[in-house]
Chains A and B, each alone.
Chain A
Amino acid sequence: MNPWPFINGSYGITLLFLLGAGWLTLARYRRARRRLAQAMQR
């Protein structure tokens, strides 16, 4: 059995999770900081 589709799938799902979760976390962190800064200015 050719293992490469399984290897590619494993690495693909891992990269998708790391990049996706990282992106979502960064977006939430920046949004929270921006909204707090805006509220403090008012």
Chain B
Amino acid sequence: MPYERGMNEEVLPVMRSKSGGWLHYLANPARFMRVAVPALPWLTVVSVLLCAVGIVWGYQFAPADWEQGDAARIMYVHVPAAWVAMAGYAALAVCSLFSIVWRHPLADIAAEEIGPVGAGFTAVCLVSGSLWGKPMWGAYWVWDARLTSVLILFFLYLGHVALIRAFDNKAHAYRAAAILALAGAVNLPIIVFSVQWWNTLHQGNTISLSGGSKIYVTMLYPLLISTLGFYLAFITMVVARVAAAINERKLAAALLAAALHAAEEERT
């Protein structure tokens, strides 16, 4: 890396681990474009296939739940949307941290582009959850801890999107939005543990990474495929939006350079 030229070889690994040198390497827009542009068609195809298989399997072929009946089919779109909404916000918070600590322009762009996509997945989670609530609880909405904390997540996403657009100075906008995103990250553990900390109407965790999942494989497989598809769809959309944003900035810089050149020629 250019800034490491002439540095002591023994100090470099320590410096990299302390200062996030590998992040500097990865957060280069040109390197990002070299990896992202060829990967995008593949990401698109795989995410479309996985989403299609997961959605069709869940809607048509997965068994009905012994207690909830066919209404449990909503799980195959609601749960993946909820997981992606939370993971998206975690990614937004990480990008905001990189932005504040290391001032990476790519982290700012990524945070800006994650916001609307994450808000979309959160809206899908809220609407599908609401439509699941009516036949199960008899109400579209209850001020339950899980539902309320996810609604706050949705507002945090909207606030982040609005804050970036509220400033004329982009650097100030990114800084304010990054602080909001980091402060809002406290909501993530609240969402996850809300069903344990409070006595909620929303059901508890069904799937556990440490084993002991309370779901049979005939329902688990379509759920996992749908989840993988939603995650890849989110990644694909964000990568494509970041690539588009980089191209838009390149275009703006090229147009500005051309205008300055024309003005210079006119003067001479």
Q: Which residues of A contact B (CB under 8 A)?
A: 1, 3-4, 6-7, 9-11, 13-15, 17-18, 21-22, 25-26, 28-29, 31-33, 35-36, 39-40, 42
Does A11 lie within 8 Å of B55, measured CB to CB?
Answer: yes
Partner of B128, one of A13, A32, A42: A13
B204 at the interface (CB under 8 A from A): no
| Number of B residues, CB within 8 Å of A | 40
- The answer to whether B127 and A13 have CB atoms under 8 Å apart is yes
In angstroms, Cα B251 to Cα A31, docked, is: 11
Provide the main secondary structure of the chain B interface.
helix
Contact A10–B254 (Cβ < 8 Å): no
A14 touches B233 (CB 8 A): no
Q: In the complex the two chains form, is B81's CB within 8 Å of A14's CB? A: yes
The interface centre, meaning the residue of A6, A9, A26 with most chain B CB atoms within 10 A of its CB, is A6
- CB within 8 Å for A10 and B132 given contacts A18-B51, A25-B237, A28-B241: yes
A39 to B233, CA, bound (A): 30
Q: Is B251 in contact with A6, judged by CB distance below 8 angstroms?
A: no
Residue contact A39 to B255, C-beta cutoff 8 Å: yes
Taking CB atoms, residues of chain B closer than 8 Å to A9 are 131
Name A16's closest neighbour in chain B (CB-CB): B124
Besides A3-B69, A6-B131, A42-B258, 17 new A-B residue pairs in contact (Cβ under 8 A), listed by A number? A1-B135, A6-B71, A6-B74, A10-B74, A10-B78, A10-B127, A11-B74, A13-B124, A13-B128, A13-B131, A17-B120, A25-B244, A26-B240, A31-B244, A39-B251, A39-B254, A39-B258
